[in-house]
Amino acid sequence: MIRGFRGATTVKKNTEEQIVNSTKRLLEKIINENQISPEDVSHIWFTVTTDIDAAFPAKATRLIDNWQFVPVMCAQEIPVPDSLPLCIRIMLTAETNKKQEEVRHVYLNDAVSLRPDLELTKKRDTM
Instruction: Determine, yes or no, domain membership for 102.
Output: yes
Instruction: Determine, yes or no, domain membership for 29.
Output: yes
Q: Is 119 exposed, middle or buried (0-12, 13-18, 19+ CB in 10 A)?
A: exposed
**55 HSE (CA, 13 A, CB side):** 19
Sheet holding 106-107, edge to edge: 72-76, 41-48, 87-95, 2-10, 106-107
Cα separation values, 51 from 24, 55, 79, 111, 120, Å: 19, 11, 10, 15, 26
Q: Is 6 known to be catalytic?
A: yes
Instruction: Determine, yes or no, domain membership for 126.
Output: no
The pTM of the full predicted model, rounded to 2 decimals, is 0.90
Instruction: Determine, yes or no, domain membership for 43.
Output: yes
- Look at residue 1 in the predicted model and tell me its pLDDT: 94
Q: Is 62 known to be catalytic?
A: yes
Q: Is 74 known to be catalytic?
A: yes
- The DSSP string of 19-49 is HHHHHHHHHHHHHHHHT--GGGEEEEEEEE-
CATH for 42: 3.30.1330.40
- Look at residue 126 in the predicted model and tell me its pLDDT: 46
Q: Is 25 known to be catalytic?
A: no
- In the set 62, 95, 102, 124, the catalytic residue is 62
- In the set 25, 28, 33, 77, the catalytic residue is 77
Q: Binding-site residues for prephenate, please?
A: 6, 89, 107
- Look at residue 57 in the predicted model and tell me its pLDDT: 98
Instruction: Determine, yes or no, domain membership for 24.
Output: yes
Q: Is 89 known to be catalytic?
A: yes
Q: 92: domain range?
A: 2-121
Q: Binding-site residues, please?
A: 6, 89, 107
Instruction: Determine, yes or no, domain membership for 127.
Output: no
Domain count, the chain: 1
pLDDT in tens, the chain (127 residues): 999 999 999 999 999 999 999 999 999 999 999 999 999 999 999 999 999 999 999 999 999 999 999 999 999 999 999 999 999 999 999 999 999 999 999 999 999 988 877 755 444 444 4
